[in-house]
Amino acid sequence: MRAELIAVGTELLLGQIVNTNARFLAEELAALGIDAYYQTVVGDNAVRIKEALHIARSRADLIMMTGGLGPTLDDLTRDVLAEDLGRKLEIHEPTLAKIREFYAKRGLPMAESNVRQALLPEGAEPLPNDEGMAVGSAITVNNVHYVLLPGPPREMEPMFERYVKPWLTQRLPEYKPLFSVMLKFAGIGESSLEHELIDLIGNQQDPSIAPYAKDGEVAIRLTTRAESPEEAARKMRNVQEEIRRRVGAYLYASRDIPLEQAVIDLLGGRGQTFAAAESCTGGLISHLVTGIPGSSAVFRGSVVCYTNLVKSKVLQVPLEILQGEHSPGAVSSETAELLARNVMQEMEADYGLSVTGVAGPGSSEGKPVGLVYIGVATRSGGVSSCRLQWTGSRSAIQRRAAKHALYRLWQTAGGQTATNPL
């Protein structure tokens, strides 16, 4: 099967929105093993939509169109396709009933144009829209498959997952579903991780091994096609174990969760808590952690000790450590360890975490941009710190420092990750 994507919408031609639908569908089709050689964007214009359709039909046998299924006269996709196929439009009664009910419930009059959202080319299979009004449709004419999807991604993506994917796989006789496992790492850079796994990444065909890097975390995605989850798990077991043998110390999850979630899960499972003192990360650790629902059971709070005044007054780091020609200074292992211990004690937590460093753009205390100390304190009295040096923008350094600090906490708390059994 050879696919072509046509996105309909003048707002795309004006650059008002990005065509994320093309990326989503391209990735989904690739995962189904369907080649797609072209993507086209066209405005809300019947002549040009029809031209795009004709060109697509000359070189593809699966044409997926997004957008132009709304109620207004600008929404032309289904009209153009039906006319082009020589079919009438017919009303999909369940969709019309849903639209009428929507307005009735709210006591609003329904504009007659809303009926358009319930129209389908005669003989097409309806694709329910669980997140919106306009019904989608799928139809095969002269061995060419046509799929019409709504433009808003939050309607289109679930419609694809729930209704289009099964419709397509029925038409792919050789189809085996794709299984993947995401291995998430922290405390190790992308290039170091790739270096450790370079022979696996290069030689391994099935499962495939693909590295990803995003937002200060790195990940490895294992992917294979199999008849069942059990077969997929069997195919992935050896490579998962080999990766764990080499870089298991940095593997914080074998599913796609952020590091802060792994920390909350680890401490929350034991009824433990932590508190943080953030200097150069400026609240980012707190922001990441409190983005996780339920974090209040684990995260006591933090002090964003952005100035020496706050480090000394709120967190009792002696001024003779922070200031003066022969002092260690605010960016030092001494300060990191005191901050971690004192915030733990002050907030009565099981762990204290601290970050102090130079996020840039300028240097500080004569210390270079990117120098960061991370401290971790535990209830039992242990305090440790590590020194890191990064390069990059202010926000990149803040993000790497925040993630590395969370990794040190996870590691100090004895975090371990099991093999994903699928």
14 or 108: CB nearest a second copy:
14
197 or 303: CB nearest a second copy:
303
Q: How far is the CB of 59 from a second copy (least distance, A)?
A: 8
160 or 250: CB nearest a second copy:
160
Q: How far is the CB of 123 from a second copy (least distance, A)?
A: 30
86 or 202: CB nearest a second copy:
202
Q: How far is the CB of 229 from a second copy (least distance, A)?
A: 24
Q: How far is the CB of 372 from a second copy (least distance, A)?
A: 14
175 or 306: CB nearest a second copy:
306
234 or 313: CB nearest a second copy:
313
* Dist CA 132 CA 149 (whole Å): 11
Q: How far is the CB of 50 from a second copy (least distance, A)?
A: 13
95 or 281: CB nearest a second copy:
281
Q: How far is the CB of 419 from a second copy (least distance, A)?
A: 27
Q: How far is the CB of 116 from a second copy (least distance, A)?
A: 24
Q: How far is the CB of 244 from a second copy (least distance, A)?
A: 27
70 or 360: CB nearest a second copy:
360
250 or 299: CB nearest a second copy:
299
- What are the CA-CA distances from residue 77 to residues 6, 111, 160, 307, 315 (Å)? 10, 20, 17, 59, 63
* Dist CA 406 CA 278 (whole Å): 12
Three-class SS of the chain = CEEEEEEECHHHHCCCCCCHHHHHHHHHHHHCCCEEEEEEEECCCHHHHHHHHHHHHCCCCEEEEECCCCCCCCCCHHHHHHHHHCCCEEECHHHHHHHHHHHHHCCCCCCHHHHHHHEEECCCEEECCCCCCCCEEEEEECCEEEEEECCCHHHHHHHHHHHHHHHHHCCCCCCCCEEEEEEEECCCCHHHHHHHHHHHHHHCCCCEEEEEEECCEEEEEEEEECCCHHHHHHHHHHHHHHHHHHHHHHEEECCCCCHHHHHHHHHHHCCCCEEEEECCCCCHHHHHHHCCCCHHHCEEEEEECCCHHHHHHCCCCCHHHHCCCCCCCCCCHHHHHHHHHHHHHHCCCCEEEEEEECCCCCCECCECCCEEEEEEEECCCCEEEEEEECCCCHHHHHHHHHHHHHHHHHHHCCCCCCCCCC
- Could you list the residues that contact a second copy (CB under 8 A)? 12-20, 22-30, 36-43, 45, 48, 52, 55, 275-276, 278, 281-287, 289-291, 293, 295-296, 299-307, 309-310, 313-314, 346-348, 359-362, 394-395, 398
Q: How far is the CB of 107 from a second copy (least distance, A)?
A: 20
